[in-house]
A and B are shown apart, each in its own frame.
Chain A
Amino acid sequence: MSQQSPLGKPVNRVDGRLKVTGAAGYASDHHPDRLAHGYLVLSTVGRGSIRSMDTAAAQRSAGVLAVYTPLNPLKLFNQGGGLFGPNWVPLQDTEVRHHGQIVGLVVAETFEQARDAAALVRVAYDARTPVASFEDNIPNAAVPEPFFFGPAIQDYLADGVASIDDALAAAEVTVSGSYRQPIKLHNPMEPHSTVAVWRDGHVTVYSGTQAPVGHVQDIARCVGVDQARVRVVSPYVGGGFGNKAMTWGHTLLTVAAARALDRPVSTVLTREQMFTVTGHRSAVAQTVALGATRDGVLIAVKHDAYSSASTSGAMFPWGPHTTTLPLYRSENIHIGQRAVTLDIPTSTIMRAPNEEPGAFAIESAMDELAARLRMDPVELRMKNGTTVVPGNGHPWSSKHLDECYRVGARRFGWSRRNPVPGKVTSPDREWLIGMGMATAIYPAARFPSQVKIRLQADGTAGVSTAGADLGTGLWTVLAQLGADALGIPMDRIRPDIGDSALPNNTGAVSSASTAGAASALRLAAESVKRALIQLAVENPRSPFHGMNPQDVRYADGALTAAARRVSFGDLLEATGSAAVEATEGVGFGGDRQGFEFASFGAHFCEVRVNRWTGETRVSRFTTVVDAGKIINPKTARSQIIGGVIFGIGQALSEGIQVEPATGRFANANFAEYLVPVNADVPPMDVQFVQHPDTAFNSEGVRGIGELGTVGAAAAIANAVYNATGRRIRDLPITPDKLL
């Protein structure tokens, strides 16, 4: 009987039991002998230089082993942080680039001793006034160099049209709006932590990371050690959302301190330190102007964005290029991106880095246009959707966005929406009720990924790659894909990830893990089956010895030929072989050329806004997703829900208050930076329209990790408008904005 494939089944996480019982070892759970503990000292001015540091009291404090500062540094090499990391390494100069910057590392016998000694370090600064206000410095914004998405300013104009403003002026109906959102934080549940253990000139680094191989490269480069002597072990990662995809200063200092002290060192960041040491999502200000015919055909689309950037490096969001351009068809399109560089901590990638802000602006503006036209927002979007991407003219490999709109509208009950704002109330008339919708888009990427499959004599199969599972589900997906490819039960698959010594993998970035791993795994499965058959016909102790390989077939974990069937375990046993293995990989991009690959979705939500006191509460949410074939609907649903909850935070509560005079993040803690709590999360309905995207890869899968958050905030803001008639373009939508 053929083995039932677990592909597409809502199977439980294979690492779930380990996690809920505490048996899964995260980075800081490693306690090697003689472990010492590091604690960071952070700057308390926003710009300037260190004049002197008094570390005497700290050095005398109980248990202290060393106090490293710019005046007593650990040597690091500034070899660049890559696209997503900071452009400097700590303690190599006395410069203060931002408030909350690393200016010291205290190492002591215990965490508490290190923390308490760090509080005794006194720093004297020659402080300068930081350039910290985003709003005030928008007039000084610069046009950045071309990036992944081409030039920062792009115009696509119909013949004879001189400018986008001319096109807008000629439109029958226009709307325009200006949209703002503050700096936000990743806030993964697991704090950033690094445990470094040197032995015989080799270092093993336990560090929660989304990219073990990249982490090795960064550490090797910046600490100054041969890459071959660095190994990163990171099997479990307690969330990352982008800020564990690069290497931050505390990791480099920890590795260097462990070498200098000749003993293992662990550094775990506090929640407060994570607000300035490990990156954030930029503040973004955007303007969108839309011109259309009276019957809702877009004639002119103009979307300009200003993103905050940091003198300390890394990237900033490119919203218009990644949302407006691929989403809507128009004769005339203008997209523009500018950067406002500030003396604030490093800005970096965060879940849907470009698309999250971009979609808030364009999907709010589309709602404003629909209201102006008295047209259904779903109909307006369906009327103007793209079939090819402006610029390169590539068609979509597989786009079923209209189906998402239709299915979502039906499941949600969109037809019951009153298009006139402010008309629907709760039975007690205390709450105004509104419905809103928005579109989600996220590009489908695939990065270099290798997978090794190892068939073992005990009948199990190892499936391994140096990827990462930050709650995203790779452990489980590998077990499912392995079971399907080899035709054996999932409990005989032994997945292994999160170790740089495993076959190369770019890591968990850009929602690309499953596409890469699935493609490589399918190739590796075919190779390992061929290798097994080769062994079967060549090994004299094999029952298939001497047969033509073409006559031997692999199915459901066994070889068959001439009415003989032998499982791979028995064959390996019989031939005295421990295992047969094969490693295969894929590179960048989709299988077929000339297509544009992206996942899509449609959000529908209902909000309640208190008539008197202005609190917005999300009461229902439906999201329908077009992301190709879904390997595991259970973990996939969790991804979408998590993304939508991110969007609830974006819409209603999250945001850093930057003090303009000091560059200090005023609410850099979990008490004052408000992530959504369970009570903010309504019942969620998630549906997948499953159309395998086989132009993208053989499995037909695309990414889902980031998609769910794209457009979620716009859907909520649009629902607030429908509830109240008030258009809030400045996030988060707190009660004071609705009084």
Chain B
Amino acid sequence: MRAHDFTIARTVGEALSRSGDGSAYLAGGTTLVDLMKLDVMTPQRVVDINRLPMRGVHRDRRGLHIGALERMSDIAGYPLVKAGYPVIAEALLASASGQLRNMASIGGNLLQRSRCGYFRDTATPCNKREPGTGCSALNGENRMHAILGTSNSCVSTHPSDLAVALVALDAAVQLRDRSGVRTVRLADFYRLPGTTPHLEHDLRPGELVTGVMVPRLDWARRSTYLKIRDRTSYEFALTSAAVAVNLSGRTIRDVRLAVGGVGTRPWRLPAVEDALRNRPLRQDVVEAAAARAVADARPLAHNRFKVSLVQRTIVRAVMSLKG
């Protein structure tokens, strides 16, 4: 860990005025402190934002509003989240460990960095950490890496479970910097790695995530998050699926579907949604639709199994909602 300034912001204005290039906001600290100890993140200034009034979960006619500093455990426990958006509650509870969920904020969760072992080891080349040094995972150990959205510069998976659920639900992040506020759809917020994998999202220097908005979707009551992993708890996804369906009898009127563990960002699957819409909720229909998920998959030496596993994950998740 490098020497750095540390400051506690009491207002949003104070936080914004103290931050910019080379600074980092500290909320739960579960990513930032970890990566600072590994010398992977080396901010010159850390601004603690935990006292800012960015809390609370409430619902209005537009949808669900979540303050950026709400802790993962707390959000998962809100009855209106559990009942109205089970996919969010389940994605949260499938994340990390109880201790981490008690600390980690929703804003921080959406901005968490890659879990690629090469990104986290400063002794190895990594384009995301040090642009231009090369990608060690491309021909290294890449069992956990992505098959969708990869480039020759970076193949690391987006690690957040919650982001997969939110992308499926068309959620947006509310941002604020010194010039004002803006709202960006989460699906547009995350960037593909391309040749610039160090640029992961559209946050401007010093810009603050103040909240998350999930548009009203009454039929999200019938939704789920299924996560497949090597151990039962406290492990990142091999593959995951966030699904909501609007059923009319046995017919899928509408559906939202995104997958995790396979993409360089949370991966919405409009082609699979199209193949399911207005079709019966039946195993063969879902299997045929799921095949569209991997049309553009580029598997690596150790993660070819994800091509099959992600389809199975989709099928299992969708079929579990037939209820």
Of residues A119, A671, A736, which shows the largest number of chain B Cβ atoms within 10 Å of its Cβ? Answer: A736
Question: B231–A680 contact, CB under 8 A?
Answer: yes
Question: A679–B1 contact, CB under 8 A?
Answer: no
Known: A44-B123, A612-B315, A667-B141. A652 touches B231 (CB 8 A): yes
Question: B315–A112 contact, CB under 8 A?
Answer: no
Question: Within 8 Å of chain A (Cβ to Cβ): is B179?
Answer: no
Report how far A87 CA is from B123 CA in the complex, Å: 26
Q: Which of B70-127 contact A (CB under 8 A)?
A: 97, 115, 117, 120, 122-124
**How far apart are A716's CB and chain B's nearest CB, in angstroms?**
14
Question: Within 8 Å of chain A (Cβ to Cβ): is B21?
Answer: no
Known: A613-B228, A735-B230. A115 touches B141 (CB 8 A): no
Question: B228–A735 contact, CB under 8 A?
Answer: yes
Report how far A667 CA is from B230 CA in the complex, Å: 14
Q: Which of A355-402 contact B (CB under 8 A)?
A: none
Which listed segment binds A: B56-64, B169-177, B200-208, B304-312? B304-312
Question: Within 8 Å of chain B (Cβ to Cβ): is A676?
Answer: yes
Count of inter-chain pairs, beta carbons less than 8 A? 78
Q: Which residues of A contact B143 (CB under 8 A)?
A: 657
Chain B 301-323, CB-CB to A under 8 Å as 1, else 0, gives 00001001100110110000000
Total chain A interface residues with beta-carbon distance under 8 A: 34
Question: B115–A671 contact, CB under 8 A?
Answer: yes
Q: Which residues of A contact B124 (CB under 8 A)?
A: 664
Q: Which of B214-236 contact A (CB under 8 A)?
A: 228-235
Chain B 23-52, CB-CB to A under 8 Å as 1, else 0, gives 000000000000000010000000000000
Question: Within 8 Å of chain A (Cβ to Cβ): is B2?
Answer: yes
Question: A677–B233 contact, CB under 8 A?
Answer: yes
Known: A112-B1, A667-B141, A736-B305. A617 touches B123 (CB 8 A): no
Question: B232–A679 contact, CB under 8 A?
Answer: yes
Question: B305–A659 contact, CB under 8 A?
Answer: no
Known: A612-B315, A652-B231, A735-B228. A659 touches B309 (CB 8 A): no
Question: Within 8 Å of chain A (Cβ to Cβ): is B140?
Answer: yes
Question: Within 8 Å of chain B (Cβ to Cβ): is A734?
Answer: yes
Question: Within 8 Å of chain B (Cβ to Cβ): is A141?
Answer: no
By size class, the interface of chain B is 20 to 34
Q: Which of B39, B97, B231, B232 contacts A119 (CB 8 A)?
A: B39
Q: Which of B230, B235, B238, B312 contacts A612 (CB 8 A)?
A: B312
Report how far A430 CA is from B316 CA in the complex, Å: 9
Question: A659–B228 contact, CB under 8 A?
Answer: no
Question: A677–B232 contact, CB under 8 A?
Answer: yes
Question: B140–A614 contact, CB under 8 A?
Answer: no
Of residues B122, B312, B313, which shows the largest number of chain A Cβ atoms within 10 Å of its Cβ? Answer: B312
Q: Which of A181-233 contact B (CB under 8 A)?
A: none
Question: A116–B238 contact, CB under 8 A?
Answer: no
Question: B117–A653 contact, CB under 8 A?
Answer: no
Question: A735–B309 contact, CB under 8 A?
Answer: yes
Chain B 114-151, CB-CB to A under 8 Å as 1, else 0, gives 01010010111000000000000000110110000000
Q: Which residues of B contact A550 (CB under 8 A)?
A: none
Q: Which residues of B contact A734 (CB under 8 A)?
A: 230
Q: Which residues of B contact A672 (CB under 8 A)?
A: 115, 117, 144
Known: A116-B1, A657-B141, A736-B238. A613 touches B313 (CB 8 A): yes
Report how far A659 CA is from B143 CA in the complex, Å: 13
Report how far A734 CA is from B238 CA in the complex, Å: 10
Question: Within 8 Å of chain B (Cβ to Cβ): is A24?
Answer: no
Question: A674–B228 contact, CB under 8 A?
Answer: no
Question: Within 8 Å of chain B (Cβ to Cβ): is A18?
Answer: no
Question: B233–A735 contact, CB under 8 A?
Answer: no
Report how far A613 CA is from B141 CA in the complex, Å: 22
Question: A666–B231 contact, CB under 8 A?
Answer: no
Q: Which residues of A contact B3 (CB under 8 A)?
A: 62, 116
Report how far A115 CA is from B117 CA in the complex, Å: 20
Question: B231–A613 contact, CB under 8 A?
Answer: no
Report how far A680 CA is from B316 CA in the complex, Å: 21
Of residues A115, A612, A732, which shows the largest number of chain B Cβ atoms within 10 Å of its Cβ? Answer: A612
Q: Which of A628-682 contact B (CB under 8 A)?
A: 652-653, 657, 659, 664, 666-667, 669, 671-672, 674, 676-680
**How far apart are B25's CB and chain A's nearest CB, in angstroms?**
22
Q: Which residues of B contact A732 (CB under 8 A)?
A: 230
**How far apart are B97's CB and chain A's nearest CB, in angstroms?**
8
Q: Which residues of A contact B144 (CB under 8 A)?
A: 672
Q: Which partner residue on chain B sits nearest A649 by CB separation?
A: B231
Q: Which partner residue on chain B sits nearest A270 by CB separation?
A: B37
Of residues B97, B232, B312, B315, which shows the largest number of chain A Cβ atoms within 10 Å of its Cβ? Answer: B232
Q: Which partner residue on chain B sits nearest A115 by CB separation?
A: B1
Q: Which residues of A contact B229 (CB under 8 A)?
A: 615
Q: Which residues of B contact A115 (CB under 8 A)?
A: 1
Q: Which of A116, A612, A667, A671 contacts B2 (CB 8 A)?
A: A116
Known: A44-B123, A614-B309. A653 touches B141 (CB 8 A): no
Q: Which of B115, B228, B232 contacts A680 (CB 8 A)?
A: B232
Q: Which residues of B contact A20 (CB under 8 A)?
A: none
Question: B231–A739 contact, CB under 8 A?
Answer: no
Question: A653–B233 contact, CB under 8 A?
Answer: no
**How far apart are B170's CB and chain A's nearest CB, in angstroms?**
26
Q: Which residues of B contact A657 (CB under 8 A)?
A: 141, 143
Q: Which residues of B contact A652 (CB under 8 A)?
A: 230-231
**How far apart are A45's CB and chain B's nearest CB, in angstroms?**
9
**How far apart are B308's CB and chain A's nearest CB, in angstroms?**
5
**How far apart are A484's CB and chain B's nearest CB, in angstroms?**
42
Chain A 252-265, CB-CB to B under 8 Å as 1, else 0, gives 00000000000000
Q: Which partner residue on chain A sits nearest B139 by CB separation?
A: A661
- Chain A to chain B: the 10 pairs with minimum beta-carbon distance, closest first: A736-B305, A679-B232, A44-B123, A666-B141, A679-B233, A612-B316, A612-B312, A657-B141, A613-B228, A680-B232
**Can you report 12 residue pairs joining A to B where beta carbons are below 8 Å apart?**
A115-B1, A612-B315, A613-B316, A615-B232, A652-B230, A653-B231, A657-B141, A664-B124, A672-B117, A677-B97, A736-B309, A739-B308
Besides A115-B1, A735-B309, 12 new A-B residue pairs in contact (Cβ under 8 A), listed by A number: A116-B2, A612-B312, A613-B228, A614-B309, A617-B232, A653-B230, A667-B141, A672-B115, A674-B230, A676-B231, A677-B231, A736-B305
Residues of B within 8 A of A (CB): 1-3, 39, 97, 115, 117, 120, 122-124, 140-141, 143-144, 228-235, 238-239, 305, 308-309, 312-313, 315-316
Residues of A within 8 A of B (CB): 44, 62, 112, 115-116, 119, 430, 610, 612-615, 617, 652-653, 657, 659, 664, 666-667, 669, 671-672, 674, 676-680, 732, 734-736, 739
